[in-house]
Structure 1
Amino acid sequence: MADEDRRHVLWRAVADAAGSPGQGTWGRSVCRNCVATLIGIDAAAVTLRATASAQDMLGASVEWAGLLEDQQYTLGEGPGVQAFTQGSPVLVDDLSAADHQWPAFTEAAQSVGVAAVFAFPLQLGAIALGTLDLYRRSPGALPPGVLAEAAALADLIALVLLAKADRAEATDQVWLRQIGSYHDVHIATGMLSARHGISLAEAFTRLRAHAFGRGGSVLDTARDVIARRIDFDELGE
């Protein structure tokens, strides 16, 4: 296929996604199109990231990929976290060799049969939005052409997200906030900080530790805190 034709295929993978940015169907559709377009990829997930305590998954091609995104948030480790932090792709062609780097995430990924992960930051210039995380069940590096296409898809996704954000700002619709489920995490963190007289950073650390200890996600734990289903004293130390 000619380069121009392939670029058209990549663009359609993003442009033809059902729904629009800010709707759950859009993220899921983009991820499924990425899997269909990229040879050797079994699952994909797109996640907005702002800080360690601000993350919102826009969509995943399959449920287990979404669960792994939640795991990265809860654990504070993983290829997506690192790709966003350093602003460059993180390519792990054999997870068994990365257990020293992200032990908890590696265990979670291998438990669902993932053998390799390729994370690409969603960024344009100095603007960083999140990551496109690609998962595969067999180890091995992706061919250079596929890596180039994955990077191009990440750039196209970022372009669409920024274009949508610009239009939303013009109409006073702060769409990133509207879809930001991480606001529940911020609310719970603030509640814990006020209750125990600790910093927001320490409160988030306790929230994350509690989520990990009970085998849940940070978001679910935060919602339990807000609904008073978790005793505040449980997170006091």
Structure 2
Amino acid sequence: MTARGAERGFTGWAGVVCEVAVQVVGVDGGAISLRSAGPAQELAAASGPWAGGLEELQYSAGDGPGVEAFATASPVFVTDLDQADQRWPGFMSTAIGAGVGAVFAFPLQAGTARLGTLDLYRRRPGALPSDRLADAAVLADLATTALLTDASPEGGAPWAQVDTPGHYDDVNVAAGMLAAQLRISVDDALVRLRAHAFSSGEPLLEVARSVLHRQLHLDQFSN
């Protein structure tokens, strides 16, 4: 499992948890994202490009099962995404087009401390057997314990302790640049970046990099 995780670029505990989830729980993809009360999200690990892309989709859209699981501090299970009645408008149509049939999102939390989510994706719709759900819950607990063990003594969000560089740093920099140029808040700048990504069909990360490389003019975000 560790060798396969290394091939994908996730060599630490987070990559192992995602690999075990795919093998033991019986899903087609798994990902761990660190989250905060604001819009911040950081990909800690994914079992492969499919799951990683779905996490990026949630970040670009600002909604999705992981976003809801983190916000509500409760697991979110959707056994047939095609019948979810536009529960997450920014996420659903693209996710269905990418072949997602069911999704199971577990918050990573200890007491009142919320750290992120373990999101499990399956191509075919249908519920997981109770024993597989129990296995997934155990993996979520293991991930939470690992995060708390790695967290800094100051109690800050453990972004730096994950074994992958900042995946969305370019988005944060682009939002800051946009905020400074347009004299708006960083949150408003991020909303405008997301709106452009949604309307253009491009991943948010690519839109941000286009801003940083001056391939998108800032006046395109002025309204």
Which range, TM-score by smaller chain?
0.7 to 0.9
More displaced stretch, 95-104 vs 58-67: 95-104
Superposition map of 1:215-226 within 5 A? 215-226=201-212
> Is the counterpart of residue 64 in structure 1 residue 47 in structure 2?
no
Shift of 1:190: 1.5
Query: In structure 2, do the counterparts of structure 1 residues 17 and 157 end up closer, same or farther at CA, with 3 Å as the change threshold?
Result: farther
Between the two proteins, the alignment pairs up a number of residues equal to 217
Structure 2 match to 1:208 = 194
Query: In structure 2, do the counterparts of structure 1 residues 32 and 142 end up closer, same or farther at CA, with 3 Å as the change threshold?
Result: same
> Is the counterpart of residue 48 in structure 1 residue 34 in structure 2?
yes
Q: Any conservation in 2 of the 1:57–1:69 contact (CA below 8 Å)? A: yes
Structure 1 match to 2:176 = 190
2-structure distance, mates of 1:192, 1:176: 28
Structure 2 match to 1:77 = 63
Q: 1:111 aligns with which of 72, 94, 97?
A: 97
1-structure distance, mates of 2:206, 2:108: 26
Q: 1:143 aligns with which of 97, 121, 129?
A: 129
Query: In structure 2, do the counterparts of structure 1 residues 205 and 32 end up closer, same or farther at CA, with 3 Å as the change threshold?
Result: same
Q: 1:36 aligns with which of 23, 28, 44?
A: 23
Query: In structure 2, do the counterparts of structure 1 residues 61 and 145 end up closer, same or farther at CA, with 3 Å as the change threshold?
Result: same
Shift of 1:176: 5.7
Shift of 1:168: 10
Deviations, residues 188-218 of structure 1 (Å, cap 9, x unaligned): 1111111111122211110111112222222
Instruction: Tell me the TM-score normalized by structure 2.
Output: 0.87
Larger radius of gyration: 1
Shift of 1:230: 1.4
2-structure distance, mates of 1:113, 1:186: 29
Shift of 1:229: 2.0
Query: In structure 2, do the counterparts of structure 1 residues 178 and 167 end up closer, same or farther at CA, with 3 Å as the change threshold?
Result: farther
Query: In structure 2, do the counterparts of structure 1 residues 70 and 178 end up closer, same or farther at CA, with 3 Å as the change threshold?
Result: closer
More displaced stretch, 159-168 vs 51-60: 159-168
1-structure distance, mates of 2:71, 2:205: 21
Q: Which amino acid aligns with 2:62?
A: G
Shift of 1:25: 2.6
More displaced stretch, 90-99 vs 80-89: 90-99
Q: Any conservation in 2 of the 1:17–1:30 contact (CA below 8 Å)? A: no
More displaced stretch, 185-194 vs 75-84: 185-194
Superposition map of 1:146-185 within 5 A? 146-166=132-152, 174-175=160-161, 179-185=165-171
Identity of aligned residues (%): 47
Q: Which amino acid aligns with 2:180?
A: A
